[in-house]
Amino acid sequence: MNQDNITLLQKHNLSVTAARLAILWAVRQHPHSDADMILKQARQKAGSLSKQAVYDNLHALTQKGIIRSIQPMGHSARYEPNEDDNHHHIVCRSCGHTADIHCEMGKAPCLDPSHTHGFAIDEAEVIFWGLCPSCQTNPVNQSNQTKK
């Protein structure tokens, strides 16, 4: 058991369960994974674990701000630890591979829009799109990319 994860769950008033610890472990080991991949990885730690339990716990952990969910258009939700850092994501249009892009500007960009419509803005999400190195070598993906 990871004491940091136990402390994190307790800090957020969540019960410390084998399922939650396994899910947190999976999210930390495999950031940007979808629920199915997290289920597969978490089962290695917790053994028997239902898909519904993973979805319920991912929701609870996201609601408490322990993990973050990103949902690139056309792809299932991906999960990563919430490190309270300023980063964005790049997603492959073909295979869906996702990677972090760290912001070097010193502050979150785009937090001063021309009009807030009354919202108290506290976060901006930026997703860059393209083809990963593996998909760039596939001629089918190259011809699809030039059509966009």
Q: Tell me the per-residue pLDDT of 50-102, one tens digit each, with 9 for 90 and over.
A: 999 999 999 999 999 999 999 888 889 999 999 877 788 999 999 989 999 87
pLDDT at 102: 79
Residue 38 has pLDDT above 50, yes or no: yes
Instruction: Kindly state the average pLDDT of the residues 40-52.
Output: 93
What are the phi and psi torsion angles at 68 (to 5°)?
A: -115, 145
Nearest alpha-carbon partner for 92 in 125, 138, 55, 58 = 138
- Give the domains, in start order, of the chain with CATH numbers: 3-70 (1.10.10), 85-146 (3.30.1490.190)
pLDDT at 146: 47
How many residues in the chain?
148
> In a 3-state reduction of DSSP, which class is residue 22?
helix
pLDDT at 32: 95
Alpha helices in the chain (DSSP H): 3-11, 18-29, 35-46, 51-63, 133-136, 139-146
Q: How big is the chain by its Cα radius of gyration, in Å?
A: 18
pLDDT at 81: 94
Q: Tell me the per-residue pLDDT of 2-16, one tens digit each, with 9 for 90 and over.
A: 789 999 999 999 999
Predicted TM-score (pTM) of this structure: 0.79
pLDDT at 123: 73
